[in-house]
Amino acid sequence: MTDDYAAITAGVSVTLLLICVVEMHVVAGHAKRSVEEVSALPSDDDTFREEQQVLRDFWLTVVLLLACVVLSGSLLLTGLWAAIENHGPARWVAWGTLLSNAWGLLALVTVYLTRALNELQQAARAFATDRLTTTGERTSSEEGAPVPEG
């Protein structure tokens, strides 16, 4: 590992660590609110969907927590390597920082994709519910009337 590589990976690690901490705070807060909402529901309601959301939020919190731990360890090892006078190449530290940064980035992408898919699923569910509860009224474009061109 060179000094330049250590500086670059340390910068990437700090950036990913900061984003992971913020995202973990957001996801943990959402998980806490989900638990409170599910706990407030009457026991005779079907709470499977809500419980599934709570588990997903806690799983995402754990993934982000692990990413924070791995990134912190990598950052500490890189700092220790840089602090040693006449340090050698330390290929294992270079590989460790590369893998920890990859893990942190993968964790963030996983959280963002899971959140996006969850939002799409909720939107589709709301759209389907809205379509089922409409009174059967149709707009003029659905009845076959010509749609005005804009």
Q: What is the pLDDT of residues 55-76, one digit of tens each?
A: 888 888 899 999 999 999 999 9
Q: Which residue has the tokens 């000094």?
A: 3
Residues 6+ away with beta carbon under 8 Å from 75: 10, 13, 14, 17
Dist CA 13 CA 2 (whole Å): 16
pLDDT at 143 over 60: no
pLDDT in tens, 27-55: 888 888 887 877 777 766 566 666 777 78
Domain ranges, ordered by start, for the chain:
3-127
pLDDT at 26 over 60: yes
C-alpha atoms less than 13 angstroms from C-alpha of 4 in its C-beta half-sphere: 0
Q: What is the pTM of this model?
A: 0.73
What is the predicted pLDDT for the residue at 15?
Answer: 94
pLDDT in tens, 90-109: 888 899 999 999 999 999 99
> Helix (H) and strand (E) counts for the chain?
3, 0
Dist CA 53 CA 51 (whole Å): 5
pLDDT > 70: percent of the chain: 83
pLDDT: is 105 or 141 the higher one? 105
